[in-house]
Structure 1
């Protein structure tokens, strides 16, 4: 059936983690003027909300937005995929070949619309269409473009002072308060091999190669918010002394040493005086005989696009970094410097077509690294983490506008991860809770505001399209809550959650000689396990490797587990912590059914959620936050200044894209067009 297109140009502006409830808060305070303009020129619900797919995790929700199908149908049912071999392990999941539903961009490209899919996590890479009209950039992880494939070296803080006697290097030090200090206890870490395990697990090749990942979440210290808010960085201590042996050291300059590449490469640096005789700049050189520095850094200014050689596993490649002076004493007694992770500038592996990468680099610039450190150290959040994302946002906006203006794309599906990345590091600190009562919630509430303001700036980069015949859809996968309480060990999406299931007697861990639980399941005694965000699996005979539950007893055991979960109480508050619990056959009601989902689906009760992944999308939290995703539409084919009462669901976005462009729906689509907001009847 042919339809008349309501627009010829369409941009899906995806912002991971953008919450309509907290957006409204900042809108009312006048802090998001560009979002206000988008709403005034388009259509949305009064609460700006859509109903998100379940589970409320990045890959399932973005895949639902792209296919119009629920997770039980498209098969991307959590951040990780359940291992087919083991009930206590997961495997990599952000692979389009795991998606069993048609993506709408395959339809647009087949219809001779030049289509770009930009860093859309979960179902875009590798490309699933051979159309010459389809371009795809990354999508193998949610962080930033190329982060998972091109990272060569980790972030580091350099501290130089006359008090330091020799150059010392400590890899991946977890010292939230150490950034301002001279570290005196480095001996135990010197010459250690850099531990890249976690970096490779979450962002690198290890996960993508398909092996099992086995993570046991046994207590609060194993949870993502605790680990993520204390991300380690390399520390370099260096003497700061009179410059000697230099070819062109200015008068009065002092030198120090920077160590990179896992400890194998050194770069000499100078602090320089201004005309008033105060030290205010840092110059970094390849060596002391170099005529020109690699970069000159000024105080209070982050610089990106710095190209230098980096060695990893005995291979040296040119890489892009960002850098910033954290502290420089005008009298020259101390300098602190941050250096970002390093991205291989030659790596175009996740760009289709590869020529697009070359065009972006030549016309916009190299992919700027984003910081992943900060968390509980508010100085690093303020000086490094937030500004690095502001730089990245501008680069991405410029890249997309270049693709629109110069490469003449007709349809773009884009994803930005700034809010979600910040949420996983910072949001839990925006309410004073006992494990983090040494932090100031007001400071972290201000950080939430800053990330929404920078997102508003990003939205503003595309408002010109409304005057150029484009349709713009602003969407997100989920929001992020500031938790009301410390959640129970249940629903952590990264692995096997043991504590509650142990207490209830369904999961049994092997014990050490002192009677303490180890990180190994006793399968001969374990009847059920809880793994990934919302799933419980029965250890079933004939299906699972170590199954002990007779299939005829499965239904009754599920009933017992459901009852026990509803009766389970948080030991800190005495209140129920499980919201809903359904058998797989009943979970079809909410789209979490089928072979890629567990035997039971559950959600955590409101006020006991962690950020988003264990929640229903209607959950709300402290500081006017929620798990709901946002939806606003404006431009050609959309009513202007219109508020709808229609309940909008994520499954409705793909068919709405199809109607706007006059195309068929994706084959497995389960949603319906949001026809109430269209400027013409359909």
Structure 2
């Protein structure tokens, strides 16, 4: 094989959840000019797609892109890892030490190429090579850099009014359906109590999960699914009176005041509402104390202000944190105010930066990591005013950071990941079709929001186009796409827990009962023969293998055959259609790369038409509003044909060996793909 390099420098621009079908439609409509330019200068398939790995979940697919190995080989086989102790529990999975295949970045560093791995979720942290040429930033969770370890306080919305009589803090609350833009009576909202812990934030973004304990979640109804929960992430609510400013060391005579509670309601900040030169109240200034003569933040109506540094306290520890703020509503007479406050990111936390000096360089030359919002979902107003703008700011910061590192730190190879599309997908995509559980939302509004996140991504990708002129080869890839569901998905295939409904109906999983005969979230292991967990896996409860095993090993094969038959015969009660697409024993699942000890005894997929956003079906699954689960692939720059379209089926495992050939390095040891030689400018 020819080992001459075809490029000296390479950038991978990974966009989590980027769907080639949406991308192509918007390119054809002229809405993605920068991606159109990449296509004119490079190579892709006509539909911009490639075949992804299975399951179509973030950590296994990004690990496949890094190793060229299928999940059954590299061992990162879903979002979570199966607990070695319990069939109904999962444990943290985004750890490079769980990866059994060699990552390409170790090879490039070994070859003398200075390599940066930026927030690549699945198998990048901790650094998997001791080479001083390998630098790694985060990768322990998919959201945004440092989100899993640096969050000190929850997002919040302040409702202040001259009609409100008492200052009140309500933690982690969702706005009641039908409630208008401002609230003066806290009885209008739903409260989750006075608990100040951050369970949802820590569970999904890694802080507590990385400690290694079991996570046990039972999915019995649609309300238990991530699709229902993820789009309704709660936020703190503060109700504050608005009154004439009093007791301030310095304030305008006609200023109005309110109080903002932070740090789980245990600390106060003080706000002044002031007039402009036309006599209209349009500005808010925030102070740590009424004794302060200068505010730490000045907010203009309608503009998100980021990069504000203020202390926050969590579990008795106080840290300087970066926050963003936005006035959502402010009455011209100053008597009504609604203010969004972002979560707080500890600016000193460098535990996921290798070397740690990288964080200081980014802060000094680009700025503090801006927090992204996790609220919006079914509230399109919050998506417009908070969720999307926070990602606009973050995308700019990440592009600025990578541009700085490329220009001044002289990296030869960069592997990067951005999570804006996928994060938005879990908030919004299921609303792209009007289905019964979400009939209160407007699918047209949400479809336009979907398109806007692709336009945001196009702006981000455009920030790297100039590197093609500077000798870099650029690959644009994703782990999977995101589809808009045609139907309400079944209680089967949920990635975050044990799916009990269908397996209970089929007689394989048995739940214990309370005194009234109702099922409780505890499995009766004396009667349970099999469980379904982690998206696509079914485990048989086998004697002498599993802790509470009851199935004789000699009966395992026949039981698998019975389960597979019952899965194929199972019908959706709304439509009467088959729910399960394919079902394979572990040994047969080698056909999809989902075999081996880290996979279940049975691998199955949900049939097209019943898929949730991603994860439960085949990589070829398509959905409503011209959406799909397929990942995207575009390549441009030195070593790549210009303006070329290939008919070759590109597989995710092919990306790593293609990059190795372009750079002239060896192919990683466990790689199972082949170079995409058709798109190479010179014959291989």
TM-score (norm 2): 0.98
State the Cα distance separating 1:227 from its structure 2 match. 0.3
The change in CA–CA distance for 1:56 and 1:176 in structure 2 (over 3 A counts) is: farther
Assess if the C-alpha contact under 8 Å between 2:104 and 2:668 holds in 1. yes
State the Cα distance separating 1:248 from its structure 2 match. 1.6
Q: Which residue of 1 aligns with 2:661?
A: 659
CA distance in 1, matches of 2:399, 2:251: 39
State the Cα distance separating 1:193 from its structure 2 match. 2.6
Deviations 1:574-609 (A, max 9, x none): 000100000000000110000000000000000000
Farther-moved stretch of structure 1 (204-213 vs 664-673): 204-213
Assess if the C-alpha contact under 8 Å between 1:176 and 1:376 holds in 2. no
Assess if the C-alpha contact under 8 Å between 2:481 and 2:629 holds in 1. yes
Q: Which residue of 2 aligns with 1:13?
A: 13
CA distance in 2, matches of 1:71, 1:519: 30
Gaps of at least 5 residues in structure 1 are none
The change in CA–CA distance for 1:183 and 1:115 in structure 2 (over 3 A counts) is: farther
Q: Which residue of 1 aligns with 2:575?
A: 573
Assess if the C-alpha contact under 8 Å between 2:104 and 2:660 holds in 1. yes
Assess if the C-alpha contact under 8 Å between 1:176 and 1:377 holds in 2. no
Deviations 1:594-631 (A, max 9, x none): 00000000000000001011011100000000000000
Assess if the C-alpha contact under 8 Å between 1:319 and 1:342 holds in 2. yes
State the Cα distance separating 1:490 from its structure 2 match. 0.3
Farther-moved stretch of structure 1 (239-248 vs 90-99): 239-248
Q: Which residue of 1 aligns with 2:681?
A: 679
Deviations 1:379-410 (A, max 9, x none): 11110001100110000000000010011111
Q: Which residue of 1 aligns with 2:75?
A: 75
The change in CA–CA distance for 1:169 and 1:568 in structure 2 (over 3 A counts) is: same
The change in CA–CA distance for 1:469 and 1:414 in structure 2 (over 3 A counts) is: same
CA distance in 1, matches of 2:290, 2:73: 61
Q: Which residue of 2 aligns with 1:494?
A: 496
Deviations 1:310-339 (A, max 9, x none): 111112111000000000111112111000
Q: Which residue of 2 aligns with 1:232?
A: 234
What is the aligned counterpart of 1:341 among 340, 343, 346? 343
Q: Which residue of 2 aligns with 1:144?
A: 144
Deviations 1:419-468 (A, max 9, x none): 00010111001100001101111111011011000000001000001111
Aligned length: 682
The change in CA–CA distance for 1:267 and 1:491 in structure 2 (over 3 A counts) is: same
State the Cα distance separating 1:14 from its structure 2 match. 0.0
Q: Which residue of 1 aligns with 2:308?
A: 306
CA distance in 1, matches of 2:621, 2:263: 44
State the Cα distance separating 1:2 from its structure 2 match. 6.5
Q: Which residue of 2 aligns with 1:57?
A: 57
What is the aligned counterpart of 1:391 among 390, 393, 399? 393
The change in CA–CA distance for 1:301 and 1:108 in structure 2 (over 3 A counts) is: same
Q: Which residue of 1 aligns with 2:428?
A: 426
Assess if the C-alpha contact under 8 Å between 1:63 and 1:74 holds in 2. yes
State the Cα distance separating 1:291 from its structure 2 match. 1.8
CA distance in 2, matches of 1:457, 1:327: 28
State the Cα distance separating 1:53 from its structure 2 match. 0.2
Query: What is the 5 A alignment of 1:363-382?
Result: 363-382=365-384
CA distance in 1, matches of 2:243, 2:159: 13
Query: What is the 5 A alignment of 1:203-352?
Result: 203-352=205-354
Assess if the C-alpha contact under 8 Å between 1:168 and 1:186 holds in 2. no
Give secondary structure in 1 for the equivalent of 2:208: helix
What is the aligned counterpart of 1:475 among 469, 474, 477? 477
Q: Which residue of 2 aligns with 1:47?
A: 47
Q: Which residue of 1 aligns with 2:412?
A: 410
State the Cα distance separating 1:300 from its structure 2 match. 1.2
Assess if the C-alpha contact under 8 Å between 1:606 and 1:619 holds in 2. yes
State the Cα distance separating 1:475 from its structure 2 match. 0.1
What is the aligned counterpart of 2:201 among 199, 202, 222? 199
Farther-moved stretch of structure 1 (400-409 vs 242-251): 242-251
CA distance in 1, matches of 2:486, 2:137: 37
Gaps of at least 5 residues in structure 2 are none
Give secondary structure in 2 for the equivalent of 1:181: coil
CA distance in 2, matches of 1:192, 1:480: 36
Give secondary structure in 2 for the equivalent of 1:263: coil
CA distance in 2, matches of 1:204, 1:555: 37
State the Cα distance separating 1:188 from its structure 2 match. 9.7
CA distance in 2, matches of 1:574, 1:583: 26
Assess if the C-alpha contact under 8 Å between 1:430 and 1:482 holds in 2. yes
Assess if the C-alpha contact under 8 Å between 2:173 and 2:192 holds in 1. no
CA distance in 2, matches of 1:286, 1:176: 31
Q: Which residue of 2 aligns with 1:619?
A: 621
CA distance in 2, matches of 1:557, 1:471: 51
1:585 maps onto 2:587 in alignment: yes
State the Cα distance separating 1:186 from its structure 2 match. 8.7
CA distance in 1, matches of 2:151, 2:133: 29
What is the aligned counterpart of 2:636 among 627, 634, 637? 634
Deviations 1:341-382 (A, max 9, x none): 000000000000000010000000000000000111111111
The change in CA–CA distance for 1:605 and 1:576 in structure 2 (over 3 A counts) is: same
CA distance in 1, matches of 2:96, 2:192: 42
Q: Which residue of 2 aligns with 1:127?
A: 127
Assess if the C-alpha contact under 8 Å between 1:19 and 1:478 holds in 2. yes
CA distance in 1, matches of 2:217, 2:369: 31
Q: Which residue of 2 aligns with 1:549?
A: 551
State the Cα distance separating 1:176 from its structure 2 match. 5.0
TM-score (norm 1): 0.99
State the Cα distance separating 1:200 from its structure 2 match. 1.2
CA distance in 2, matches of 1:251, 1:174: 36
Q: Which residue of 2 aligns with 1:87?
A: 87
Give secondary structure in 2 for the equivalent of 1:262: coil
State the Cα distance separating 1:174 from its structure 2 match. 2.0
CA distance in 1, matches of 2:189, 2:640: 64
1:23 maps onto 2:23 in alignment: yes
State the Cα distance separating 1:230 from its structure 2 match. 1.1
State the Cα distance separating 1:112 from its structure 2 match. 1.1
CA distance in 1, matches of 2:605, 2:176: 33
CA distance in 1, matches of 2:297, 2:552: 67
Assess if the C-alpha contact under 8 Å between 1:169 and 1:186 holds in 2. no
Farther-moved stretch of structure 1 (2-11 vs 235-244): 2-11
Assess if the C-alpha contact under 8 Å between 1:168 and 1:190 holds in 2. no
Assess if the C-alpha contact under 8 Å between 1:267 and 1:286 holds in 2. yes
Deviations 1:32-82 (A, max 9, x none): 111100011100000000000000000000000000000000000000000
Give secondary structure in 1 for the equivalent of 2:264: helix
